[in-house]
Structures are given as structure tokens and as C-alpha cells.
């Protein structure tokens, strides 16, 4: 479920601002911050069942700030974020999880960690279409019958 139509422009800006605070960009490790447009697009596209708690978290942040979080100077934004971290409850935990989940599935971040950004099998070996020989050991086993629950 896309959050593009669930979040206001101010909430999307606040999400980008808090994401940058959670995971800033690093030139040293050549990784983007969590405010990167591709990572933000992933967050908005995959919020799904977390959207209500994320909206609640963003609303709580805006209430603490007295205005949209993204419009605050860095020092005030940090103070609001610290207060939110102490008293944000499940909404704060969900917001942080959503940011980290989308950040750590980005191919650039995986590559910086030495993880291949693709499935580990077949490790570059191309299997011909219709070649089911990998299943031969399974097919050779005797069938197992079990009672259905």
C-alpha cells in the first residue's frame, strides 16, 4: 500500500528529515543517508500496515516541534527528536524500524557491507530452462504420507 496519498507534503518532508537523522549519509563508506530519494520512495511504497503508526509518529513529532519538523534548525530538530525518542512509544519504534528496514535493503548499502545485492543462489551459474536435475535426489526419496491436521 502506497503512502503517497496518506501522507501530507509536510509529513513526507518530516519523514525525510527524521530519516536523515537516524542514518546520515557517509562519504567515508560511500553510502547514502536514509533521506536518499530512492530509499524514501521505497519507504512510501511499502509502509502498508505500518502507515497508521508512522503517521502517528510524524504527528507526534510535529506537535512536539510546534511546526513541521523539517522546518526547524538542526539544534531544535535534534532536541525534538530526543524528546520523541524518550516518549514516542510504539509509534517511535515503528518509525525507526521502517527507516532502517528500507535503508538496509538498498543495494548500495548492501554492497558497502560486502553483501551481494541479489539472491546467493545460483552464484552466477545460469541454469538452463527446464533443467530439473537438481530435484533428482528429492524425487529418488520414498514418498512420505502424513495425516492432515
Residue for cell digits 502424513? 146
Distance CA 120, CA 125 (A): 11
Residue for cell digits 496518506? 6
Distance CA 72, CA 103 (A): 24
DSSP calls for 75-92: HHHHHHHHHHHHH-HHHH
Distance CA 42, CA 101 (A): 10
Residue for cell digits 510535529? 62
pLDDT of residue 115: 86
**Predicted confidence (pLDDT) at residue 118 exceeds the cutoff of 80:** no
**Longest CA span, the chain:** 69
Average pLDDT, the chain: 88
Distance CA 82, CA 18 (A): 11
**Predicted confidence (pLDDT) at residue 136 exceeds the cutoff of 90:** no
Percent of the chain exceeding pLDDT 70 equals 90
Distance CA 36, CA 38 (A): 6
Separation in Å, CA 100 to CA 18, 112, 140:
12, 15, 44
Contact yes or no for 69/77 (Cβ under 8 A)? yes
pTM above 0.85, yes or no: no
Q: What is the pLDDT of residues 6-33, one digit of tens each?
A: 899 999 999 999 999 999 999 998 999 9
**Predicted confidence (pLDDT) at residue 121 exceeds the cutoff of 80:** no
pLDDT of residue 1: 45
Q: What is the pLDDT of residues 66-110, one digit of tens each?
A: 999 999 999 999 999 999 999 989 999 999 999 999 999 999 999
**Predicted confidence (pLDDT) at residue 127 exceeds the cutoff of 80:** no
Helix (H, G, I), strand (E, B) or coil at 100: helix
Amino acid at each position: 500500500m502506497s503512502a503517497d496519498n496518506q501522507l501530507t507534503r509536510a509529513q513526507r518532508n518530516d519523514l525525510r528529515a527524521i530519516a536523515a537523522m537516524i542514518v546520515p549519509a557517509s562519504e567515508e563508506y560511500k553510502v547514502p543517508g536514509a533521506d536518499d530519494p530512492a530509499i524514501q520512495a521505497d519507504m512510501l511504497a511499502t509502509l502498508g500496515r505500518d502507515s497508521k503508526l508512522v503517521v502517528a509518529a510524524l504527528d507526534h513529532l510535529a506537535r512536539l516541534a510546534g511546526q513541521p519538523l523539517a522546518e526547524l534548525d538542526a539544534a531544535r530538530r535534534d532536541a525534538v527528536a530526543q524528546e520523541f525518542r524518550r516518549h514516542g512509544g510504539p509509534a517511535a519504534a515503528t518509525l525507526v524500524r521502517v527507516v532502517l528496514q528500507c535503508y538496509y535493503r538498498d543495494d548500495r548499502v548492501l554492497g558497502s557491507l560486502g553483501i551481494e545485492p541479489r539472491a546467493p543462489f545460483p552464484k552466477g551459474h545460469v541454469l538452463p530452462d527446464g533443467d530439473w536435475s537438481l530435484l533428482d535426489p528429492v524425487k529418488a526419496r520414498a514418498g512420505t504420507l502424513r495425516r492432515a491436521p
